[in-house]
Amino acid sequence: MSKETEGAAERFERAVNRLRRELRAVAAAVTPGVEPRAEERTDDRRTVGGSMGKRFSMALTLPDTPYETAAAAAADAFVTAGWHTELRQGFGGRPLLKATRDGLNASVVAAGRALRISGEVPVVWIHASWIRPPRVAVLETLKPGHQLCVMCEGWGSCRVCEGLGFVDSRMCVECGLGMDCPDCRGTGQEPVPGAGDGR
Residue ranges binding Zn ion (CB under 5 A): 149, 151-152, 158, 160-161, 172, 174-175, 181, 183-184
How far is it, in rounded angstroms, from Cα 152 to Cα 6? 31
Supply the minimum distance, in Å, between the C-beta of residue 52 and Zn ion: 16
State which residue, 89 or 169, has the beta carbon closest to Zn ion. Answer: 169
The closest alpha carbon to 126, from 15, 41, 7, belongs to: 7
Supply the minimum distance, in Å, between the C-beta of residue 150 and Zn ion: 8
Cβ–Cβ under 8 Å, residues 115 and 74: yes
Supply the minimum distance, in Å, between the C-beta of residue 190 and Zn ion: 7
Supply the minimum distance, in Å, between the C-beta of residue 146 and Zn ion: 12
How would you label 124-161 residue by residue, b for 16+ Cβ within 10 Å and e otherwise?
bebbbebbeeeebbeeeebeeebbbbeebebbbbbbeb
